[in-house]
Each structure stands twice: as C-alpha cells, then as structure tokens.
C-alpha cells in the first residue's frame, strides 16, 4: 500500500503539472480539493483519466467518485480494491 | 477626432523579452520554448500555480501581459469593465489542438486529456490574462495571416471612441511548433509620463517592425 501511495503521488504531480510540489509535500490523508492541494474541476477529470489510464479502473458513479477522490489515501484504497 | 496613447509595449521572441525597446530578460534563442518561458516566469517571482497548467499559447500571452503591466499601475485607473483585450495570431491554438489529437488518435490508447482540451480555443489566453489582472471588459481574438497594425489600431480606437472601453490591451500572440512571437501594448486616452506615443497605425508599425 505504501508503494502504491508513493506512485500515486508522483503520478498526480505529473498528470496535474504540479510543478512546485514534491511527493513528500503531499499528505496522503489531506483533502485533494478545496484545501490541501487546492485542485479544481479540470484536475478532477484528469484524476479520473489517470485512474483509468494507469490502473484500468473506471469510476462511473458520480456519488462514488466524491469519496474515491477525497485524498491520495482514498484513491489508493479504491485502486487496491478494484485493480484488475 | 479623439486621440489615444500607448503606454508600455513589450515583445517576446527568439528568447528575448523586451519592454519599450529595452531588453529585460534573455535566454538562448535555441532553448525550447517551455524552458525559456518557465525561466522567465520564475524570474517574475509571482505566485500563480495555474501558470504551469496552461498551454504554450496561454503561457506566452500571460507572460507578455505580466511584462507589460508589472511596473506601472495602469489598470488602477480603471474599473474592471472599462478595460478590454484585443488579441490576434496566425495559427490560433493549432499546436494545442494537435497535442489533444495525440491523446485520442489511437483507439487502443484512447485517453482524452481534459486539461489539454480546455485550451483548444485561442481566446483562452484572454481568459488567463483576465483572471490574473481582473479585466472584465469586451474582448476578442482574431485569426489573421500576419500582424495587421491597421486593423488592430482601428479596431482598438473604435472601442475607445465608442466609450465602451477606456483602455485596451492590444497584441499579437503567436505560438506554433516551438516558434513564438508576442507583441503587446496598452492603449488608452490617458496621456501621462508613460503615455507619450500616440496610438496610430504608423506608430504601431514602427514599434512592431523594429
């Protein structure tokens, strides 16, 4: 799980072009939106693409997406549970 | 006929960033655009993380506007709705369009990028400048084969004469396949220390062709 979280942090930084952010700057339990990394709606769409591209997981249920993309940790948990 | 004036004017091309004819920042002209513009952005020492997410056309326009507006407080004379933006270029956002196509052309690897897609309109660069400087007046982006001083000056003066705007940020922001050229200036009816050049076709042609 630790490795998955680390990989995810690197992938998020690359996909969202978070130029001045390092993996160690991201607290895996902090909210990705609103506060924390301060991501926006386009970033949310990019995270959905990342999940499908890197892990083959489609998040189609909007209600589920809200909890999946709460933090890096919730994303990692979802990947661990659903990875094919 | 009412007279209008140009305050500062800037140019970004071949790794050189000039303001009112003076070189402000330079990188090797053979450096890739992404490195050159990043180095310039860093030199500004501003906090605008969205910069890194912009496409190259928007980065170019954003930096030209930043260079233009950073020293004098031209915008403070007007409210947000009184300032407009009038830009043009040759290749629209074709470079970004092609980048987007790369994300969708392979059916086996079909991952359209939302972050690239949002820049597949040339006037997004106007949006980025407007957000940064809180500009809310009329704006338009033209596609033209080359910078047309006569058209741009007459259009800008028309906006100022009609009183729909009190000041206009006018420019040419072109980016395609790592070739880039940005020219931008601020026109208004105010004549102050900085506003010594009259906003005429001849003046703009002279400045642009220097």
Q: Assign residue B158 the CATH number of its domain.
A: 3.40.47.10
Domains in chain A: how many in total? 1
Instruction: From chain B, pick out residues whose CB is under 8 angstroms from the CB of A19.
Output: 49, 52
For residue A33, the 8-state DSSP code is: B
Query: Cβ distance B68 to B185 under 8 Å?
Result: yes
Confidence of residue A84 (pLDDT cuts 50, 70, 90): low
What pLDDT is recorded for position A64?
83
Considering chain B, what percentage of its residues have pLDDT values greater than 70?
99
What pLDDT is recorded for position B35?
96
Domains in chain B: how many in total? 1
Confidence of residue B74 (pLDDT cuts 50, 70, 90): confident
B113–A49 C-beta distance less than 8 A:
yes
The pLDDT tens digits for B35-60 are 999 999 999 999 998 999 999 999 99
Kindly report the nearest CA distance between residue A73 and chain B, in angstroms.
23
Instruction: From chain B, pick out residues whose CB is under 8 angstroms from the CB of A37.
Output: none
* CB nearest to A46's CB, from B49, B52, B114: B114
Mean pLDDT of B194-198: 78
**Three-state DSSP state, B98:** helix
User: Residue A26: which domain range?
Assistant: 2-82
What pLDDT is recorded for position B94?
98
Kindly report the nearest CA distance between residue B23 and chain A, in angstroms.
27
User: Residue B115: which domain range?
Assistant: 5-209
* CB nearest to B115's CB, from A19, A38, A42: A42
Kindly report the nearest CA distance between residue B58 and chain A, in angstroms.
15
Nearest alpha carbon to residue B17 among B51, B56, B67, B62: B67
Mean pLDDT of B75-95: 97
Confidence of residue B3 (pLDDT cuts 50, 70, 90): very high
Whole-complex ipTM: 0.84
**pLDDT surpasses 90 at A36:** no
CA B45 to chain centre: 19
Nearest alpha carbon to residue B31 among B13, B7, B9: B13
**pLDDT surpasses 80 at B1:** no
Mean of all residue pLDDT scores within chain A: 91
Confidence of residue B202 (pLDDT cuts 50, 70, 90): very high
**pLDDT surpasses 90 at B132:** yes
**pLDDT surpasses 70 at B195:** no
What pLDDT is recorded for position A44?
92
Six-digit token pair at B177? 């396949």
What pLDDT is recorded for position A60?
81
Of A16-20, A35-39, A61-65, which has the strongest mean pLDDT?
A16-20
The pLDDT tens digits for A6-33 are 999 999 999 999 988 999 999 999 999 9
Tell me which residues of chain A have a C-beta less than 8 Å from any C-beta of chain B. 16-20, 38, 42-43, 45-46, 49, 52-53
Q: What is the pTM of this model?
A: 0.93
**pLDDT surpasses 80 at B193:** no
Most B CBs within 10 A among A15, A19, A58, hence the mutation to make, goes to: A19
Kindly report the nearest CA distance between residue B182 and chain A, in angstroms.
24
A19–B52 C-beta distance less than 8 A:
yes
Six-digit token pair at A74? 């919730």
How many Cα atoms within 13 Å fall on the side-chain side of residue B60? 33
């Amino acid at each position: 799980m630790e490795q998955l979280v680390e990989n995810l942090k690197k992938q998020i930084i690359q996909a969202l072009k978070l130029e001045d952010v390092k993996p160690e700057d991201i607290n895996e339990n902090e909210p990705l939106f609103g506060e924390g990394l301060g991501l926006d709606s386009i970033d949310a769409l990019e995270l959905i693409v990342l999940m499908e591209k890197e892990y083959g997981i489609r998040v189609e249920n909007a209600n589920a997406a809200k909890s999946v993309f709460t933090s890096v940790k919730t994303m990692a948990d979802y990947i661990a549970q659903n990875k094919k | 006929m009412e007279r209008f004036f140009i305050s500062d004017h800037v140019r970004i091309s071949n790794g050189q960033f000039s303001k009112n004819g003076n070189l402000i920042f330079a990188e090797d002209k053979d450096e890739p655009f992404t490195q050159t513009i990043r180095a310039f952005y860093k030199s500004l020492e501003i906090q605008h993380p969205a910069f890194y997410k912009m496409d190259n056309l928007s980065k170019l326009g954003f930096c030209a506007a930043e260079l233009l507006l950073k020293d004098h407080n031209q915008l403070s004379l007007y409210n947000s709705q009184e300032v407009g933006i009038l830009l043009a270029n040759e290749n629209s956002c074709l470079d970004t369009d092609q980048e987007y196509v790369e994300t969708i052309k392979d059916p086996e690897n079909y991952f359209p990028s939302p972050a690239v897609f949002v820049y597949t309109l040339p006037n997004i660069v106007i949006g980025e400048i407007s957000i940064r400087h809180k500009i809310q007046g009329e704006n338009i982006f033209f596609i033209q084969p080359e910078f047309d001083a006569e058209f741009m000056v007459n259009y800008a003066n028309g906006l100022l004469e009609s009183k729909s705007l009190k000041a206009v940020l006018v420019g040419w922001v072109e980016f395609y396949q790592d070739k880039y050229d940005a020219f931008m200036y601020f026109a208004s009816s105010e004549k102050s220390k900085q506003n010594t050049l009259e906003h005429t076709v001849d003046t703009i042609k002279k400045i642009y062709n220097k």
